Amino acid sequence: MMKTSGAASGMQVAPHGGSVHKWHERLTPMSKPIDLFKEIWHQAKREGTLKHRNAVCVSTVDADGYPNARFVDLKEAEDTGFVFCTHLGSGKAHDIARNPKAAITLWWEHVARQIRIKGLCEPLLPQEADAHWASRLRDAQIATVTFSQSCALDSLESLEGTYARAVAGFGEADIPRPDDWGGFRLRPEYIEFLEFKENRLHRRTAHAMVDGQWHQRFLQP
């Protein structure tokens, strides 16, 4: 494992006052980046005032070879990968069907962390999709079954009316998961952590999966 020169400092304070532990000093060759991610994620959800603390940017590759990025809600982060859900007729789903290589990027300013993840996506099993559908707010379920994500909209005025009619039509009935709603698990092959420093001496660690094992190294700022 390589480490570039640079003096270590004591406990740092994030821009909005959240304490940032010096995780880079606790890394060992056996450290699992998923465990580190979950530690940072839990800290990000405990601290700060951001409303959507599960928001991450998922980047895919479109049919013309261009990067295609959008924010989604991160559902899970486990050894098996990172889970997000979507309409299976969406642009991201079509991109993944053509090319399963994708990336996740996030920036949690209140804990001064950037994380970059690259890997291959695979579809969730139906029972997994069912569980995530059941956890969605009812408003989100109704919107999902009422609209075709990313398709052209006749007018902004029609949006509220169409939704109101759908709410009335469903009443109190349960809303089953539609067949064209599911999700993906990104199995990571590369995870990079950056701890932001105001003096730009950022602490960066890269973890790459090689032959089924994680290998880590430090990176220059």
Annotated binding site for FMN: 70-75, 92, 114, 149-150, 204
Q: What are residue 57's phi and psi, to 5 degrees?
A: -95, 120
Q: What are residue 98's phi and psi, to 5 degrees?
A: -80, -40
Binding-site positions read: 70-75, 92, 114, 149-150, 204
Asked if 84 and 69 count as a contact pair (C-beta separation under 8 A), the reply is no
The candidate with the shortest Cα–Cα distance to 175, out of 138, 148, 149, is: 138
Q: How far is CA 217 from the centre of its chain?
A: 23
